[in-house]
Copies of this chain bind each other. A is one copy, B any other.
């Protein structure tokens, strides 16, 4: 039985929906577009939308000029009214933070565009509606922000990040390749590590039932909340204990579809241990850099380079850390933090030995070697200059470590006394 417009009105009424105004509009769009963008029209005809008579105007609106200028993007606000459950789940998940993680206040940028303001401010409101900012975005050109950063981070408001545009075939959104579009690369190669994990290889040779894919574990029962069971923030820093325990229980429950819960918990705890150990390596590297900064030995020092867009001439090693206009040693740390650490920890939780160890842990350790070597070079370089008093420098470094909380008051006093004794 072919779906006709009158039949659909009846069916839609039965499930409490009115006939979308786009249905008839579609007829007029399709006239031209079947010729101008035949693929889009063909996909739409085959789609759940097309079959249910949800026409062009329902999603694209009717202002043809704005559409042509690329100003009438179809975003979450269009999809939400018809898909309220998925929207709510999506917004509760980390995907719901996509753009806010990848966007910052553009007020100081020379080439900002007016509509960028609305990412953080409601129309006519000066107070930001979000506090999350990304310094990297601020240093980036708008073109790189478009083809790079925002291609992934706009998942916050763009359902078509995962769902293909005119086709609504769920097989597309459910394919791990869909997730790969963002979840790959040096900073979070989840797709690559899954592919060659036990789960991925079973998936390839024996299908989804034996080999779980992204959805199996991260969208259980089809939820759009992709963050259940996750015990750390997107930078890999563990959540507070209570939140962590709750999330862990959720994940063990998911694993228990196939594994004994005791086994699953044990495996995940191995991942936790690897995470703590990796954080300690990171910390050692960061301390080395903070120490050089206290001693004025970074090359160049933050006040001799272009200002950080959020923190000015302060050294930044946290989530807002930049990868341009810094020093060689900070670049090494950026790689450790953003690439090596992520590979180690995600590799461990995704059961991929090569990512956990070679791509992750071994790189962490080798980069630490290089950071220490560079720190020695920078310290010697200073010594080579005449008139450097060694003890004063060590005292300054000690004070810095104490003030950063890397040294207890007792240890600080003890180390200080030892140094002053040596000085006499």
Contact = CB atoms under 8 A, between A and B. Distances in A.
Given A266-B70, A334-B366, A353 B152 contact: yes
A413 interface: no
A228 to B, nearest CB: 20
A123 interface: no
Contacts of A59: none
A249 interface: no
Most buried by B among A151, A257, A362: A362
B373 A143 contact: no
B373 A299 contact: yes
A185 interface: yes
Best-buried of A271, A323, A353 by chain B (most CB within 10 Å): A353
A359 B164 contact: no
Interface in A1-56: 36-40, 43
Nearest to A367: B331
Contacts of A182: 353-354
Interface residues of A, number: 92
Interface residue SS majority, chain A: helix
Interface stretch (A81-89, A193-201, A238-246): A193-201
Contacts of A262: 68, 70
Contacts of A256: 37
A263 interface: yes
Contact of A270 (B147, B172, B175, B201): B147
Contacts of A40: 258-259
A68 B91 CA distance: 39
Contact of A151 (B201, B353, B361, B380): B353
B147 A324 contact: no
A370 B328 contact: yes
Contact of A204 (B175, B202, B274): B175
A327 B358 contact: no
A384 interface: yes
A260 interface: yes
A237 interface: no
A199 to B, nearest CB: 10
A376 interface: yes
A141 interface: yes
A325 B258 contact: no
Contacts of A210: 39, 43, 164, 167
Interface string A275-309: 00100000000000000000000010000000000
A120 B86 CA distance: 55
Contacts of A178: 201, 205
A359 B185 CA distance: 7
Given A40-B258, A361-B144, A177 B204 contact: yes
Interface string A75-116: 000000000000000000000000000000000000000000
Contacts of A131: none
Nearest to A260: B37
Nearest to A271: B147
Contact of A175 (B143, B201, B259): B201
A152 B347 CA distance: 14
A70 B263 contact: yes
Across the A-B interface, the 3 shortest Cβ-Cβ residue pairs: A148-B357, A185-B354, A151-B353
8 contacts: A70-B262, A141-B273, A141-B277, A167-B206, A167-B210, A185-B355, A186-B359, A327-B373
Given A148-B357, A324-B369, 16 more contacts: A37-B256, A37-B259, A40-B258, A141-B277, A143-B273, A146-B270, A147-B357, A164-B210, A172-B202, A175-B201, A180-B196, A185-B358, A187-B358, A324-B365, A328-B374, A335-B366
